[in-house]
Amino acid sequence: MIDFFWSLGSFIVALGILITAHEYGHFWVARRCGVKVERFSIGFGKAIWRKIGKDGTEYVVAMIPLGGYVKMLDERVEEVPVELVDQAFNRKTVWQRIAIVSAGPIANFIFAFAALYVMYLIGTPSIKPVIDSTKLDSPASVIQLVEPQQILAVSGQKVRTWEEVNLALVGHIGDESIELTLAPLATLSGMDMPNRTVKLDTREWAFDPEKESPITSLGLGIFRPGIDPTIAAVSKDSAAEQAGIIVGDKLVNINGTQYSDWKAFVDVVQSSANKNINMALMRKGELINVNVVPKAQQNPDGKTIGIVGISPTQAQWPDNMRFELEYGIVDSVIAAADKTSQLVVVSFKMIGKLFTGDVSVKNLSGPISIAQGAGASASYGLVYFLGFIALISVNLGIINLMPLPVLDGGHLLYYFIEVITGKPVPEKVQEIGFRFGAALLLMLMGVALFNDFARL
């Protein structure tokens, strides 16, 4: 329940910030174009706070935090006093109207840049993207690994962290090939060894984000430090807790077989749903035996597996693989601009691949997934939350630029037609377009919500 309220609170904060940024973009440009703004509202429904500013605008925070709006004086909506006609939105030039409408999405891009700038100034603890194995019969099987190697670039795009590798790979879904530039770990330690570029054949690449990351789906084995079989955490109400296992116990053997590695242990547990298994543990120098019955649980493939609810102790990452991803005041500008442009490009690519069928509609996420992401990122700390809302801000800006009549992009489409033809799109045509756009948007929202509930 605490996790639910934490995610909900983080979602409301993130959404409130992003909506404010978006609507402020419309508001700021509208004022500078001489348009009278009657109301600036964050949220819909009943107002829980309101104030009339010196500029005559009513500022409102409403009950339902799922959107917002800027109400401008407009003769198409209501009768406007003669003395205020020149301040009506519809009386402005087509280029002024284009500027006002496009200012919302642009504000989202600017906000993403600002959030990333602060994130890079603060700095984030990061791990270099190093692989130590490849999977047989996968696109990555062409890589011959003798020792762990760092991924330096994906199809020419420089990457420094696993997050950047992930983002770069997602942008190449549907491509026939992907090039990876690799460097041996010896190079990372200061030895002069040549980099190499390997081309992966991705024509048969099957990536399902519900089940795995693009990294593992390519067959790349992520390097991880060794695992100590000393129990680091025991889940509440788990099979392990019920059996009396506590933090600090060290796994010695399972069902009479000597412990060899954590994966082998997990395999035994997962294949023993609702079956008794015997575990020998070392506790404060004394060997004890416990019987555990792993609880049955469905994995993403729909297969029933056993879960005991314990986590091992993770060894420390090598010093040459850890680094602080941070920049100075000037370099942060460059880094934030570069990351913002990457997010914009990848987001546009993903929308395009959605229409071409390279990406399934099952990958659409709605408010529940966003809330979960907000809660998870906020729990990790401010820098992670800033990175998350930067990503959502870019996506919000791009979605609003889609040429659907109910969105900013739809209005812009009408205005650019007006620029070309020299006259406004007829009101009747606009009304039909709005109905079509609303129906399509509701359908997409329904699919996204369905996907959200399916993931719960």
Phi, psi of 438 (to 5 degrees): -65, -40
Residue 158's DSSP bridge partners are: 153
Answer yes or no: do 219 and 243 share one domain: no
155 SS3 class? coil
pLDDT the model gives residue 447: 65
Distance CA 53, CA 58 (A): 6
Instruction: From 280, 314, 348, give the residue that closes a domain.
Output: 314
Regarding whether 201 and 188 lie in a shared domain, the answer is: yes
Q: What is the CATH number of the domain that holds 304?
A: 2.30.42.10
Residue with the two structure tokens 């519809």 = 90
Task: Write the CA distances from 114 to 2, 109, 121, 227, integer angstroms.
Answer: 30, 9, 11, 39
Evaluate whether residue 357 is within a structural domain: no
Whether residue 42 lies inside any domain: the answer is no
* Cβ density class 20-51: b for 16+ within 10 Å, e for less: bbbbbbbbebbbebebbbeebbbbeeeeeeee
- Tokens in use for 25? 């973009």
Q: Please answer whether residues 164 and 153 qualify as being in contact, where contact means their C-beta atoms are separated by less than 8 angstroms.
A: no
Last residue of a domain, one of 275, 297, 314: 314
Instruction: Quickly count: other Cβ atoms within 10 Å of residue 417's Cβ.
Output: 15
Say whether both 178 and 273 belong to one domain: no
Tell me: do 192 and 250 sit in the same domain.
no
Q: Are residues 250 and 297 in the same domain?
A: yes
Domain count, the chain: 3
Same domain, residue pair 219 and 238:
no
What are the mean pLDDT values of the chain's consecutive 10-residue runs (456 residues total)? 69 85 94 93 88 90 85 88 89 94 95 93 88 88 86 90 86 87 68 76 79 85 86 89 91 88 86 90 90 84 85 83 85 89 82 68 60 64 84 89 86 92 86 80 70 59
Per-residue model confidence (pLDDT) at position 427? 82
| Residues annotated as part of the active site | 23
Q: Is residue 328 part of a domain?
A: no
Give every CB contact of residue 154 below 8 A, 6+ residues apart in sequence.
Answer: 165, 168, 169, 172, 178, 179, 180, 181
DSSP SS3 for 47: strand
DSSP category for residue 293: -
Q: What is the CA radius of gyration of the chain?
A: 27
Residues 281 and 298 in one domain: yes
- Is there a domain that residue 306 lies in? yes
Residue 256 placed within a domain: yes
pLDDT value at position 35? 93
Two structure tokens written together for 128: 């270099």
Looking at the structure, tell me whether residues 11 and 116 fall in a common domain: yes
Q: Is residue 433 part of a domain?
A: yes
> 295, 314, 333: which is the final residue of a domain?
314
β-sheet bridge partners, residue 71: 39
- What are the φ and ψ backbone dihedral angles of 280, each rounded to 5 degrees? -100, 130
- In this structure, the answer to whether residues 238 and 173 fall within a common structural domain is no
Task: Please give the pLDDT value at position 188.
Answer: 47
Same domain? 235 vs 306: yes
Note whether 296 and 274 are same-domain residues. yes
Q: Are 400 and 103 in contact (CB under 8 A)?
A: no
Task: Give the C-alpha separation, 354 to 363, whole Å.
Answer: 9
- For 33, half-sphere exposure in the C-beta direction (CA atoms, 13 angstrom radius) is 25
Phi and psi, residue 235, nearest 5°: -70, 145
| Within-domain flag for 26 | yes
pLDDT of residue 369: 62
Predicted confidence at residue 3, as pLDDT, reads 65
| Together in a domain, 11 and 113 | yes
Residue whose structure tokens are 């959200």: 452
Number of alpha carbons in the 13 Å side-chain half-sphere of residue 206: 3
106 Cα distance to chain centroid? 20
Contact present, 338 and 346 (Cβ < 8 Å): no
294 lies in a domain?
yes
How many CB atoms sit inside 10 A of residue 185's CB?
19
Range of the domain at 20: 2-33+92-121+379-455
